[in-house]
Structure 1
Amino acid sequence: MPRLILAPMQGLLDHLLRDALTRIDGYSHCVTEFARVTGSILPRSFYHRISPELARGGRTEAGTAVRVQMLGSDPDMMAANARVLASLAPPGIDLNFGCPAPTVNRHRGGAVLLEEPELLYRIAAAVRAEVPPTIPFSAKMRLGLHDSSLARECAQALEAGGVEELAVHARTRDQGYQPPAHWREIAPIREAVAIPVVANGDVWTVEDWLRCREESGCEDVMLGRSAVADPLLARRIQALARGEAIRPQEEEWLEVLALIARFWQGVGVRYEAKKRPGRLKQWLMLLERTFPQARELCAAVKLLREASEVEAVLARWPGFPSGL
């Protein structure tokens, strides 16, 4: 069966959302938000903060493995931090060479390093030396910084450094998240290396998944914003791959409401009251893309500032699970 991987998304896909999304079967594993490595060694508590799943063997409550992602440009510091992280026995360690955020890039992190294949190799090799072979070691990159001229060289450098699997977001740094994703440009990268390559970018529907696999030549696909906007997309894709019937989206809203309820409960534990409404609204605004019902719910809570007010709306909402 083709694998689906839940992408890391900084500032959005934290452990609460991972918990909700992986309750719908379909993902082989997911990846955390990045741990930013600069000039110091992060404490073990930091990794537990970005991946509380480490306390459960590195898995969500539904049992999906969670790889922890690192971002940085100093091979020695990346290695020192990888040593600490590896001691926590995560289900995998991932390197970030895809973040397009200007603040991150200005401090020599993420996609800006795609101009320096030799540095990619040194970072990967330094981290690989500290990661036992029992821990999967992967990386994520974009097509390049300004263009894709160094894409194959970057992929080969990471492979030579010991990376065992490579996810490629089918845009350059300069292209950001602007449609379309250029899946065809992943194909030469896949052909240039012997390790598995995972295609990523703009897979919003089952039809997108089919076209992405055809154009990139990749068996496996990583879902990002689409997974948040449509929590049941992974299940639909897996059903298609098994030759099963796909349920209409309009029949799935009650399942989504159950996921929202689970998420809201977690937000109530994790965040102080004044921040809880914002976390819910953030997800609802993405769900609007797929579910008209989410648009109605978002409109009902968007002007509310108090968690108690939001909770009162949810308690009255048709189909919303009771017992909050």
Structure 2
Amino acid sequence: MKLFLAPMEGVVDWVMRDTLTRIGGIDQCVTEFLRVTDKLHPESVFYKNCPELKTGSRTRWGTPVFVQLLGGHAEPLALNAQRAVKLGALGVDLNFGCPAKTVNRHDGGASLLKSCDRVFKIVDTVRKAVPAEVPVTAKIRLGFDDPTKCIEIAQAVEEANATWLTIHCRTKTDGYKPPAYWEWIPKIKEKTKVKIIANGEIWNVGDFNRCVEVTDCQDYMIGRGVMSNPFIFRQIKQSLNQEPVEEMTWERAKPLLPQFFEASTLYINDYFAVSRSKQWLRALSLKCVEAKPVFDELKIIKKPIEFRATLEKLCL
């Protein structure tokens, strides 16, 4: 059984992938999406999106990383997939799941779920453009606004010979509103043979076990759950191995933040580091009551020097 870190746009950048895979339990990562219109991106764009291309397409801790592409036109996506593979990408993932209005207005992400033919053409064109041994995968939602479309969409992905299919078990119009409709996955599995990775609303080991019971998938992807509990992947692996499950506590989580701030400063700059650190702290505070007063004190600080000093005082 493999556990995948979800490619959350604006969240799971190189620093976050590095931080979380160091903790352990993650078997596979996917980058934030690289938006493709009608152009072939220069190599520098790929390296910025996926610095791991310089280290064998793996994080510093050995976790494989696939490059995710998003767009509405098959041929440019295929050209960019070829370049990603040439630069060393271990696999290419195609985004048909992003629900963001800006992305959908510009013919990307979940908007493509309105047409199974377009999904098929994109996956098929990219699959044929890269070597057969390189995985080409797809990530979808249950549909744009009608979950009954999910079976037809999955069949299109399978017919296009995708290596596997990740399904976020909500429609685009559902957004991230609970629940995730895991019960659709067994229905899809009855009509297809493509390998399926279940995704959506896994916040703890109990949620994971329930998802396994409903979907009976071999592999699972977790996104927002890891932002509120950075140890969730390791906890799940401990549970699967019938080992004692380490509790998620603020004392265990808080030392990660100053390290994350420093790495984000080096990756982009200190203002970026302030923004990303606040974002992560907010997610932690939603599930960890001890993190909330720390977030409340830091969220109003804008100057990086003051933010760094306060973060270190509160978290080291």
Normalised by the length of structure 1, the TM-score is 0.94
Deviates more, 1:229-238 or 1:189-198: 189-198
Which residue of the partner structure matches residue 152 of structure 2? 153
In structure 1, what is the Cα distance between the partners aligned to 2:138 and 2:66? 11
Separation in structure 2 between the aligned mates of residue 283 and residue 40 of structure 1, nearest angstrom: 33
Specify the code of the residue in structure 2 equivalent to 1:281: K
1:130-162 deviation per Cα after TM superposition (whole angstroms, max 9, x unaligned): 221232221100000111222111111111112
The corresponding residue for 2:298 is 301
State the AA in 2 paired with 1:230.
Answer: N
Contact 2:50 2:67 in 1 (8 A): yes
Deviation at 1:105, TM superposition (A): 1.1
Matched-pair contact (CA < 8 Å) for 1:89–1:135: no
Partner of 2:288: 291
5+ unaligned residues in a row in structure 2: which ranges? none
Structure 1 residue corresponding to 2:266, chosen from 266, 269, 273: 269
Distance 2:306 2:31 in 1: 31
Q: Letter of the aligned partner of 2:290 in structure 1? A: Q
Alignment of 1:314 onto 2:308: no
Instruction: Supply the AA of the counterpart residue of 2:266.
Output: V
Please show how residues 129-208 of structure 1 align to structure 2 within 5 Å.
Answer: 129-208=128-207
CA distance in 2, matches of 1:233, 1:83: 34
Number of aligned residue pairs: give it. 316
Distance 2:61 2:257 in 1: 16
Inter-partner Cα distance in structure 2 for 1:196 and 1:179: 25
Q: Does 1:17 align with 2:16?
A: yes
Identical-residue share of aligned pairs (%): 39
Distance 1:81 1:8 in 2: 18
**Cross-structure match for 1:106:** 105
Q: Which residue of 2 aligns with 1:210?
A: 209
SS in 2 for 1:89: coil
Q: Is this contact kept in 2: 1:98–1:141, CA < 8 A?
A: yes
Structure 1 residues not aligned, in runs of 5+? none
1:270 is displaced (CA, Å) by: 2.3
Q: 3-state SS of the aligned residue for 2:16?
A: helix
Task: Indicate conservation of the 8 Å contact 1:78/1:127, yes or no.
Answer: yes
Residue 259 in structure 1 maps to residue 256 in structure 2? yes
Structure 2 length-normalised TM: 0.96
For residues 125 and 37 of structure 1, the distance between their equivalents in structure 2, rounded to whole angstroms, comes to 17
Amino acid at match of 1:272: N
Shift of 1:293: 2.6
CA distance in 2, matches of 1:21, 1:69: 19
Q: Distance in 2 between matches of 1:119 and 1:275?
A: 36
1:43-97 Cα distance to aligned partner (Å, 9 max, x none) = 1111111111111111111111111101111111111111111111212110000
